[in-house]
Structure formats: structure tokens, C-alpha cells
Chains A and B, each alone.
Chain A
Amino acid sequence: MTLISDAPAPTSTERPVKQVHLAAHFPGVNNTTVWRDSNQASQIAFSSFTHFAQNAERGKFDFLFLAEGLRLREHKGRIHDLDVVGRPNTLAVLAGLAAVTSHIGLVGTLSSTFNEPYELARQLASLDHLSGGRAGWNIVTTFDAFHGENFRRGAFLDKADRYTRAEEFVAVARQLWDAWATDAVLADKAAGDFLAEDAIGLVDHHGPQFDVTGFPTLPQSPQGRPVIVQAGDSADGRGFASRTAEVIFSRHAGFEDGQKFYSDVKGRLAAEGRHRDSLKILPAVTFILGDTEAEARERSRETALLQVSPQTAIAFLEQVWGTDLGGYDPDGPLPEIDPVSTDQGVTRGRVRHDSDPAAIARGWRTLAEAEGLSIRDLVIRFAANHTFVGTPVQVAETINRHVQEDASDGFVIVGSTNPTGLDEFVDRVIPELQERGVYRTEYEEGATLRHTLGLPV
């Protein structure tokens, strides 16, 4: 991590200083959320969500972000029991949070597969009305039979069609959000006109995925359309994002990698007739602070040991090896045996990135042997490798450098403890960003999420 000067970020006539945008990721269902610590509060009590949201609002975050999982994860055919698990209904808890916050955006992850446009568009419009224009929708395209078992249509969607469906879903939702005329509600008591003439247009959509005919039940919401967020990273996902998304929740947190992703996606916008600023790219990052860099590194190691218990280390390895590794010592070397190839994987209910287990295993073994890493050390390297580790000044400057040099427009900050995981970030990093003139010191009064993010209205 390079220390740069305390002066405001470099400016020049052709490159104005960019403002940093931040989102707060509620610590949820994953091994990165530490629970082996008596300070951890309930993962489900509304008081936890309230604390998290109000702290993020104190830090003037653009929005808070909730992930979603529509089935409990399974490992080796049974419910995975090593990580925090259990969460509220995404839309409902965001509605509750609308009541205890005033400015921060409320972004929920919601499936375009296991929902229907008429209902979901209505729920998002309701959230936008209830929150005064702060709703956002992170679209996910989970399609598999495992999740399908909880829903009416089961495994109805081919993998190849998941973005087709998502794109058509958004197109229908936009028609529904736009169907009421701008001044549809007159509520004119004297004249007896609640609605204006021709106040509500009929939506009549017929496409490969949806047939939706009818009138929506809500006037245009304060934002007109809730903000669309997207996280997919495949070629299809990037194409979808460049056409449809307004925020990308990306995995490209590294500087060079981030710049490459940033220029790729932003470069696609012109062809879609979109302005570069109409899409914000926010990689997800973790952080560990210390008074000195050495202290931060020490805390990072301590946190990693809490995030990757001996049992979690073995379970993580089993995801790649595809078989029971319960007999291996987490503090010993990696298994000599080769991964078992399985169609399905040993873990179900989470995104799977490992396409070639044998190659991954070989790479890990080589790395572990070269650096003398135990199983647990290796898993920590991959599953608890904190993105930003340093003093508040170092972290703020790193964030600012990524933003000014187009590796991102900001970050989704993932805390490691619930619900206080971002308190220290707000106390110590936010003031540094504000001092550098690259981060808001107040919300604009009455601003919608769209305004706060600097998106076209």
C-alpha cells in the first residue's frame, strides 16, 4: 500500500476530482461474518439491522446492501452449520429500515427467476414510495433446481436464458413503473376527480418469458424507477450490465484488475447510447484498520483465524475436492489425493467459481508447498484475504486512488462483524475521505438514491 500526500487528490483541467461512492454490505450468511465472539448480536433481530443502517447513514454512505439466499446452503448433503445463517425477507426488512433512516439508499438483492414482474415491480415501487425515493434492486439470476425446490415453478429456467429473463423482467418492470402519468393523482375534492383523465396506461407485454397485461397500482415513485444494481461477471452479465445496470457490484477490487474491468464495462456504454456516469462500478472490499500498519496486519490475522475455523478450513477444501476430508488435520499439509469430479459440487446454495477442481487443487498444493502453508493458512489466503489493511489514512488514500485513477467509482464495504462491523470505518476512514474533499459531509436534503449516486434522473 502506497502512501500518497495529504493533499487533495490530483486535479487537472480535463479530469475533475471524482467523488467516492460507498455502499454498506450487511454482514450476513458467509464465513466472512465472524460469530465466535461474544460481541456479536443476533443475525436476525431488527435491532441489528437498525444499528447497521443508522451507522452507515452516520457515515453518509450512498446505500446499504442486503444479499439474498433463497435456500439454506448445504454441504455434503446436509444444511451447512459452520457459518452465520438465517436472514429476513429482503423487501420486508428494507421497508422496516425505511422507517428508521432518512437518507441512505436501501438496496436489496432479489431474484428475477423466482419472482414475477407485476408483483416485484409493485413491491419495489412501494419501497420507493415508503422511503421517499431510496429503493434499489440488485438483480440476481439464480436458476438452479436446488433453489427451485422452494418455488412454484421449480427448475423451469435454462441457464442460457437467465439473463434473457432478467432483461425482459427489467423491461416489463420499467413499463409498470412508468404506466401512471406524471400528474396522475389530482385528489381534487371539489371537482371530485381523484385521478386525472387517462391517468393510467395499460401495460400489455408479451415476450418469450412473460405475458403481463394490466394496470399497475402505484403512481410513479419518487425516483421514477428504483436504481438497478447488478453483480454478474460473465460475458452475458457484463453485456446485461452495460445495457441495464446503474451500479455494478463487482469482484474486481485489485487496482490493475479494477482498471481493466472498469474500462471494459465503461467502454461498452457508448455503444448502448449511455453516458459514462450513468453506471457506477463498486467492487466489494473488506478492510482491517490499525493505528499502525503493523497493528492492522496483526488484527487482520486475528480476524482471519476467527473467520476460518479449523472446521471451516476443511469444509472450504471439500468444496474443491468434492469429497469428505474430515480425516485431514487443518494445521497439516494439503491432501495428496486428487479431487473427485462431481456434477453438482459438494456445496449447494452458493455461487460456484471453481470450474476445474483438479487444476485448482494442483495450484493450491504448489503454493502451499512453496510457502509452507497449512490447510488453514491456505484457506485464509483465499477466503479471508482482507482487501484493505492499514491505518485509516492508508485505507482512505487507497480508496481515493482507486477512484481517481478509474479502478472504481467507490466500494461496497463488507464488515466482518454484525452489526457493528462498519462503526470503526465510519469513525476513522470516512473523516479522512471527507478531509480530502472526495466524499460528502452531508446528504443533499430530500435527495433520492439516484441523486445521491450522481445518476441521470
Chain B
Amino acid sequence: MTARFHLGIALDGAGWHPAAWREPDARPGEVFDLAYWVDLVKIAEAGGVDLVTFEDAFGLQSSGFGGVDARRDEVRGRLDALLLATAVAPHVTHIGLVPTITTTHTEPFHVGTATATLDYVSGGWGGWRVQVSGRAHEAAHVGRRSFPALDPAAVVAGTDPAQTALIEGLFGEAADTVEVARRLWDSWEDDAVIRDVPTGRFLDRDKVHYIDFAGDAFTVKGPSITPRPPQGQPVVFALAHQKVPYELATASADIVGITPQDDAHLTRILGELADAEAQVSRTAPEPLRVWSEAVILIEDSPEEARAALARLDAAHGATYTSDTVILADTGANVAAHLLAWHDAGLDGVRLRPARLPADLVRITTDVVPALAAAGVLDRPADAGTLRARLGLGVPENRYASSAAASGDSDLAGSDSAQLDLIGSARS
């Protein structure tokens, strides 16, 4: 129960419309330059946005789910999102930075330390958008697994056992990766570094824990090489479209992004999320936040917005479609749409600007003030971390001060007692 409503911006290339890069103020030649992204994130930060996400994938963009297409008329290529977000971090102070990281072909241990490091570099504003890679041609980038060609229709219908098995395997692995990351983040207690000169100990090793994770796809011993990050648990975001990902999100994520095409669809999604919640046991520290997704294009009148979209579609040679609703309208009407979502109980939105920087700017000038005026953006003024900004609590460390749960042997405990005695005897 909160009146707070939060706002994320999904950054990608020159915007979400495939022809956005051809707009007069687009900067498509700079999408591989840090300065471009710093400019965008600063616009969002100054404009009152809570977090930005950075899209990514384990391969080149493509207009379909098959292999890479041969299109030359769309933006192709991306920087590694985690490294991009971390390089942006020193340039901003109070906006969440949430890179997309693929869990399918990456090392969970590296994911855990990289996200923790983003949190250190940003001073507690790090997050992670969890994503799987089900595309056969992306599996060929590593060459140790082969996947059947992905068929989204069959996945949704649940009619093809091979497709269902693929999806369940990918999301099971993603859930395991989130679990490993969460355990690694906690594997150092906050006061593990003691610098105790009398005993010569830099570290209190009883406060550093093996995570001993064993799953179907991998095992990870731990502990992390990186001490617990400033937020304790950086924010985990999961975009989800159907039952299996809903279960991942309700089990593991802090925020789920959903993609309603209309009100009836929204009602159905919320019902499916509730079903998923009943199916899984939640391991994330707080109740799931539900954010909706929308592609946003804003002009001064609805007619101009529709015309701008039509112009983009014409340049693209096809009508742009999305997995979520496309709002091409005035700022006031977009704000009204978002307020309706707020009233329907949603906790926030992740907006996908159709054109960058144009629609990002319009969101900050036309939409954020309207939401603020409606009183739904009441944020803690002194929030020092992304979790605090989102109203998420400071999570307890699962390993803290519970000797029984530490996983260490009794022998370790008695050694520690002995060292403590030495310490106090000398002090």
C-alpha cells in the first residue's frame, strides 16, 4: 500500500522505433560512445526519473527470432550493458543504473561480482535486468549447447514440448543465476573486514561464507571475491510475458515489467502473476513491485503524435509493432494513461522512448511534472541508494550472525573463539 509510483526509462540505441535513428536530432553515429549515453542518463536524472535500463543481448540485434537478419537500415551493434552502465555511473549521482545481463551463456560468478561492482562504482544505485538467451544462433557464439529454433507462438501456446522444455530450462537457469548472485552479494557480512592488528587479521573469516550453490546447470562454491555491495542487494528487474517468466519474477525479482496491450490484458496479466505467486516460494527480500511497460512518443497534439509515428513507420517501410502498448500522444494524455495504471495498483512504469533523445526529453518535461502534480511521485528527498529511492528496505544479510546457518564447521567456530581470546588478552 503506497501512493508512490516510480519511473524507469529503457534506453536502447537511438530509441525503440527502428527508424528513430533517422530523426533530425538523433545521434546514431555516437551509440558506441560513452558521451552519448552520459548525456541521455543526465537528462533522465535531471528530469526526475528513478532508474534507467540499458538493453542488451548475447548477440547482434535482429528483427526476428531466427538468425541475424541482413538489414542495414536499423541500428545494429551494442556496447556491453554492464560495462556501459558502470562507465556512466561516475557521471551521475542519484539515478538507478540497470543494465541487461544475459544469464544463459554467462558465468554466474562473474555476473555476481560485476553487478556488485556496478553498485560500488555508482555508490549504491546499481541494478540488473535479468534476461535469457533462447536463440539458437546465440548459443552458437559459445558452441557448447544447441537450442531448437525458438518459436514464440508455440512457447505462448505451450503446445510444443521441446519449446516448453527450452523455456523452462532457460528460466530455471536464470532463477539459479539470480539466486547465486544474491548469495554472493551476501557472502561477506558488512563487518567482515576487521583490520585487527593484535591478531594480525585483516579479515574475520567467520563473516565470509561459502554459498555452496548446486543447480541443474552449474555449481558455485563462493564466497564472492567482492565484499557485500553498498545496497546489500542491488535491484533485480525482470521483464516477463508469460507463465514461466512470471514465476521467475515472482520468485526472484524485485520488480517485474509487464506488457499489457490494453485494460483487459492488464487484468489477465495481474491474475497470472497472482497464480505464479501461489506456485513459487519467493526468495527476494520484499514483495514484488509490478511495473508496466510502454513505448512512448510525445508531440504537442494527438494528431501530431500520430503523424510522427506514421512518418517513422513510412521511413521504416512497415508499421512498428511492440510486445507492449505504444502510446503516441500528448504528454498530458500519456500521463493520464500512467495515472490510470497507478490507480489500477501498479507500482511504476518502464517507458521506452520511441525516439532518443526527443521522447526522453518530452517525458521529463511533459509527463513527470503531470505525475508530480497528481501527487504520485512522492519520493524520499534524501534517498542515498536506488533501493531507498524505490522505497525498498535495507535487506538483512542471509548469513549474518547466525552461526547455525553459516555453513562453516564447528571447528571453525571454536578456532574463532580462540582467536578472539587471544585478541582480548592482548588488548
Binding site for B on A (CB under 8 A): 35-36, 40, 43-46, 50, 69-72, 78-79, 81-89, 91-93, 95-96, 98-100, 114-116, 118-119, 122-123, 126-127, 129-130, 149-152, 154, 180, 185, 187, 189, 192-197, 199-200, 210-219, 309-312
- Chain B 79-107 interface residues, beta-carbon cutoff 8 Å to A: 79-80, 82-84, 86-91, 105-107
**Could you say which of A81, A127, A312 has the most chain B C-beta atoms within 10 Å of its C-beta?**
A81
Query: In the complex, are the beta carbons of B200 and A194 less than 8 A apart?
Result: no
**Could you say which of B74, B80, B116 has the most chain A C-beta atoms within 10 Å of its C-beta?**
B80
Query: In the complex, are the beta carbons of B29 and A118 less than 8 A apart?
Result: no
**A71 to B, closest residue via Cβ:** B225
Shortest CB distance B359–A (Å): 17
Q: B105, B106, B225: which contacts A87 (Cβ < 8 A)?
A: B225
Query: In the complex, are the beta carbons of A92 and B82 less than 8 A apart?
Result: yes
Query: In the complex, are the beta carbons of A92 and B137 less than 8 A apart?
Result: no
Residues of chain B contacted by A82 (CB below 8 angstroms): 200-202
**A180 to B, closest residue via Cβ:** B77
- Chain B 160-202 interface residues, beta-carbon cutoff 8 Å to A: 188, 193, 195, 197, 199-202
5 CB < 8 A contacts A-B: A40-B195, A81-B202, A86-B225, A95-B82, A151-B107
Q: A72, A129, A199: which contacts B33 (Cβ < 8 A)?
A: A129
Query: In the complex, are the beta carbons of A78 and B205 less than 8 A apart?
Result: yes
**B24 to A, closest residue via Cβ:** A189
Query: In the complex, are the beta carbons of A195 and B72 less than 8 A apart?
Result: yes
Query: In the complex, are the beta carbons of A129 and B79 less than 8 A apart?
Result: yes
Given contacts A92-B82, A126-B83, contact A70 B21 (CB under 8 A): no
**A68 to B, closest residue via Cβ:** B225
Residues of chain A contacted by B57 (CB below 8 angstroms): 217
Query: In the complex, are the beta carbons of B89 and A193 less than 8 A apart?
Result: no
**B61 to A, closest residue via Cβ:** A217
Given contacts A79-B208, A219-B77, contact A118 B142 (CB under 8 A): yes
Query: In the complex, are the beta carbons of B120 and A46 less than 8 A apart?
Result: yes
Residues of chain A contacted by B11 (CB below 8 angstroms): none
Q: What separation, in Å, do the CA atoms of A92 and B229 have in the docked complex?
A: 13
Query: In the complex, are the beta carbons of B87 and A98 less than 8 A apart?
Result: yes
Shortest CB distance A24–B (Å): 19
Q: A88, A115, A216: which contacts B107 (Cβ < 8 A)?
A: A115
Residues of chain A contacted by B33 (CB below 8 angstroms): 129
Query: In the complex, are the beta carbons of B77 and A69 less than 8 A apart?
Result: no
Total residues of chain B contacting the partner, CB 8 A? 79
B217 at the interface (CB under 8 A from A): yes
Given contacts A122-B80, A200-B60, contact A99 B34 (CB under 8 A): yes
Q: What separation, in Å, do the CA atoms of A130 and B32 have in the docked complex?
A: 8
Query: In the complex, are the beta carbons of A219 and B32 less than 8 A apart?
Result: yes
B345 at the interface (CB under 8 A from A): no
Shortest CB distance A393–B (Å): 35
**A215 to B, closest residue via Cβ:** B60
Given contacts A88-B120, A312-B200, contact A95 B28 (CB under 8 A): no
Query: In the complex, are the beta carbons of A44 and B120 less than 8 A apart?
Result: yes
**B143 to A, closest residue via Cβ:** A211
B412 at the interface (CB under 8 A from A): yes
Q: What separation, in Å, do the CA atoms of A40 and B197 have in the docked complex?
A: 13
Residues of chain A contacted by B142 (CB below 8 angstroms): 116, 118-119, 212
Residues of chain A contacted by B114 (CB below 8 angstroms): 89, 91-92
Given contacts A185-B77, A197-B72, A310-B200, contact A152 B138 (CB under 8 A): no
Given contacts A82-B201, A89-B113, contact A44 B79 (CB under 8 A): no
Q: What separation, in Å, do the CA atoms of A456 and B344 have in the docked complex?
A: 62
Q: What separation, in Å, do the CA atoms of A156 and B86 have in the docked complex?
A: 31
Shortest CB distance A49–B (Å): 8
Those 5 A-B pairs whose CB atoms lie nearest each other, nearest first: A211-B143, A311-B200, A92-B117, A96-B121, A149-B221
Query: In the complex, are the beta carbons of A72 and B223 less than 8 A apart?
Result: yes
- Chain B 11-62 interface residues, beta-carbon cutoff 8 Å to A: 21-24, 26, 28-29, 32-34, 57-60
**Could you say which of A43, A50, A78, A98 has the most chain B C-beta atoms within 10 Å of its C-beta?**
A78
Chain A proximity mask over B127-163: 1 for CB below 8 Å, otherwise 0: 0000000000110111110000000000000000000
Query: In the complex, are the beta carbons of B105 and A116 less than 8 A apart?
Result: yes
Residues of chain A contacted by B72 (CB below 8 angstroms): 193-197, 199
Q: B32, B121, B203: which contacts A92 (Cβ < 8 A)?
A: B121
Residues of chain B contacted by A46 (CB below 8 angstroms): 90, 120-121, 123
Q: B28, B68, B120, B217: which contacts A194 (Cβ < 8 A)?
A: B28
Q: What separation, in Å, do the CA atoms of A378 and B98 have in the docked complex?
A: 51
Residues of chain B contacted by A89 (CB below 8 angstroms): 110, 113-114, 116-117, 226
Query: In the complex, are the beta carbons of B87 and A95 less than 8 A apart?
Result: yes
Q: What separation, in Å, do the CA atoms of A114 and B200 have in the docked complex?
A: 33
Query: In the complex, are the beta carbons of B117 and A83 less than 8 A apart?
Result: no
Q: What separation, in Å, do the CA atoms of A129 and B80 have in the docked complex?
A: 10
**B415 to A, closest residue via Cβ:** A78
**B106 to A, closest residue via Cβ:** A119
Q: A40, A85, A119, A193: which contacts B73 (Cβ < 8 A)?
A: A193
Residues of chain A contacted by B79 (CB below 8 angstroms): 126, 129-130, 218
Shortest CB distance A151–B (Å): 6
Residues of chain A contacted by B204 (CB below 8 angstroms): 81
Query: In the complex, are the beta carbons of B225 and A70 less than 8 A apart?
Result: yes
Q: What separation, in Å, do the CA atoms of A48 and B3 have in the docked complex?
A: 39
B220 at the interface (CB under 8 A from A): yes
Query: In the complex, are the beta carbons of A311 and B87 less than 8 A apart?
Result: no
Q: B60, B105, B222: which contacts A150 (Cβ < 8 A)?
A: B222
Residues of chain B contacted by A36 (CB below 8 angstroms): 195, 197
Q: What separation, in Å, do the CA atoms of A310 and B83 have in the docked complex?
A: 41
Residues of chain A contacted by B361 (CB below 8 angstroms): none
Q: What separation, in Å, do the CA atoms of A255 and B217 have in the docked complex?
A: 51
Residues of chain B contacted by A95 (CB below 8 angstroms): 82-84, 86-87, 121
Given contacts A81-B204, A129-B32, contact A88 B77 (CB under 8 A): no
Q: What separation, in Å, do the CA atoms of A157 and B21 have in the docked complex?
A: 45
Residues of chain B contacted by A193 (CB below 8 angstroms): 72-73
**B102 to A, closest residue via Cβ:** A119
Residues of chain B contacted by A213 (CB below 8 angstroms): 137, 140-141, 143
- Known pairs A92-B117, A217-B59; list 9 more (Cβ under 8 Å): A78-B412, A89-B113, A93-B120, A95-B121, A150-B222, A152-B108, A213-B143, A214-B141, A216-B60
Q: What separation, in Å, do the CA atoms of A119 and B22 have in the docked complex?
A: 30
Shortest CB distance A446–B (Å): 14
Shortest CB distance B53–A (Å): 17
Given contacts A86-B188, A189-B28, A310-B200, contact A194 B86 (CB under 8 A): no
Residues of chain A contacted by B199 (CB below 8 angstroms): 311
Q: What separation, in Å, do the CA atoms of A122 and B57 have in the docked complex?
A: 11
Residues of chain A contacted by B73 (CB below 8 angstroms): 192-194
Residues of chain A contacted by B222 (CB below 8 angstroms): 150
B75 at the interface (CB under 8 A from A): yes
Shortest CB distance B175–A (Å): 16
Q: What separation, in Å, do the CA atoms of A348 and B80 have in the docked complex?
A: 33
Residues of chain B contacted by A189 (CB below 8 angstroms): 21-24, 26, 28
Q: What separation, in Å, do the CA atoms of A99 and B204 have in the docked complex?
A: 34
Query: In the complex, are the beta carbons of B90 and A218 less than 8 A apart?
Result: no
**B221 to A, closest residue via Cβ:** A149
Query: In the complex, are the beta carbons of B120 and A81 less than 8 A apart?
Result: no
Residues of chain B contacted by A309 (CB below 8 angstroms): 200
Q: A71, A185, A214, A215: which contacts B29 (Cβ < 8 A)?
A: A185
**Could you say which of A89, A114, A154, A214 has the most chain B C-beta atoms within 10 Å of its C-beta?**
A89
Q: A45, A123, A154, A218: which contacts B77 (Cβ < 8 A)?
A: A218
Q: What separation, in Å, do the CA atoms of A45 and B219 have in the docked complex?
A: 29
B78 at the interface (CB under 8 A from A): yes
Q: What separation, in Å, do the CA atoms of A108 and B32 have in the docked complex?
A: 21
